[in-house]
Amino acid sequence: MDNTRRLLYLDAMGIDVWVSRTDHGVEKGDVSTDIGQPETVASTIDNNLDEWQIFQEQVAACQACSLHETRTQTVFGTGNPKAGWLLIGEAPGHNEDIQGEPFVGKAGQLLTEMLRAMELNRDQVFIANILKCRPPNNRDPKPEEVSACHGFLQRQIQFIQPKIILAVGRIAAQQLLKTDVPIGKLREKVHYLDKIPVIVIYHPAYLLRSLLEKRKAWQDLQLAIKTFRTL
Ligand code: SF4
């Protein structure tokens, strides 16, 4: 991707692209062209995809917590099951519950733009949630729901074996890292989950409401890129 297109993507995110080099040492627009490609090649012909399909069917039939009573459908996750990048959000919302995909609607579009700014598309990452079913009225997940669904996320991580995880939003970050530290103190650091680096980023729905935080969001993505390059 040439620099002009990359800057257009950043502009689409509403981010001021004319910012000097940050303390993370990655300049805006200075994004490697190979951060997503190696893991995508031939991934769809992996023999283990039969297992992946069975896994999806198991999730779709799950009744391990009460959320199965109110869901339209489970939201397993989408993308490349052998991607180097795994994005983990909180839970499906209204649109996701209807469409059966994570991060759709305006927040999903912004997430897509954030990925494009990193020279990634949705086929080069896998996007999942802590919960596979929508909590009614988009309330926060209950501990017993997170506990009931935890095994599915663990299996996804074990199957995908991502090089890096992006924890998208406060609740995902706190659940993954098992902490109640505010997101503002979790970002700008490299955490680890079973030796996999975890970068905390703001939820795109929050960014849509908090335009001033978009600059920080880009800083977080830069940290993710920089970390990925070191792997
Ligand atoms: S949220 Fe997870 S554990 Fe609960 S019913 Fe849905 S798939 Fe099963």
Q: What is the pLDDT along the chain (231 residues), one digit of tens a residue?
A: 455 555 555 665 665 544 433 333 333 333 444 555 445 545 445 567 789 999 999 999 999 999 999 999 999 999 999 999 999 999 999 999 999 999 999 999 999 999 999 999 999 999 999 999 999 998 999 999 999 999 999 999 999 999 999 999 999 999 999 999 999 999 999 999 999 999 999 999 999 999 888 889 999 999 999 999 999
- How much is the pLDDT for 32? 41
Number of structural domains found in the chain: 1
Tell me, yes or no, whether 103 lies in a domain: yes
Which protein residue's CA is at the shortest distance from atom 4 of ligand 1? 65
Dist CA 60 CA 55 (whole Å): 9
Round to the nearest angstrom and report the end-to-end CA distance of the chain. Answer: 22
CATH of the domain at 183: 3.40.470.10
- How much is the pLDDT for 215? 86
Which protein residue's CA is at the shortest distance from atom 2 of ligand 1? 149
Tell me, yes or no, whether 106 lies in a domain: yes
Tell me, yes or no, whether 42 lies in a domain: no
Tell me, yes or no, whether 153 lies in a domain: yes
Contact of 145 with 131, CB cutoff 8 Å: yes
Dist CA 175 CA 143 (whole Å): 9
Tell me, yes or no, whether 143 lies in a domain: yes
Tell me, yes or no, whether 141 lies in a domain: yes
Contact of 219 with 188, CB cutoff 8 Å: yes
Q: Which residue among 142, 144, 149, 150 is best mutated to probe the pocket of ligand 1, counting the most ligand atoms within 8 A of its Cβ?
A: 149
Tell me, yes or no, whether 204 lies in a domain: yes
**Domain range for 146:** 3-10+47-229
Q: How far is the CA of 179 from the centre of ligand 1 (A)?
A: 22
Tell me, yes or no, whether 31 lies in a domain: no
Nearest of 161, 180, 160 to residue 171 by alpha carbon: 180
- How much is the pLDDT for 212? 82
User: What is the pTM for the complete model shown?
Assistant: 0.84
Spell out which residues line ligand 1, taking CB within 6 angstroms: 59, 62-65, 67-68, 74, 131-133, 145, 148-149
Atom of ligand 1 nearest to the CA of 148: 3
- How much is the pLDDT for 47? 63
Atom of ligand 1 nearest to the CA of 131: 1
Q: How far is the CA of 139 from the centre of ligand 1 (A)?
A: 15
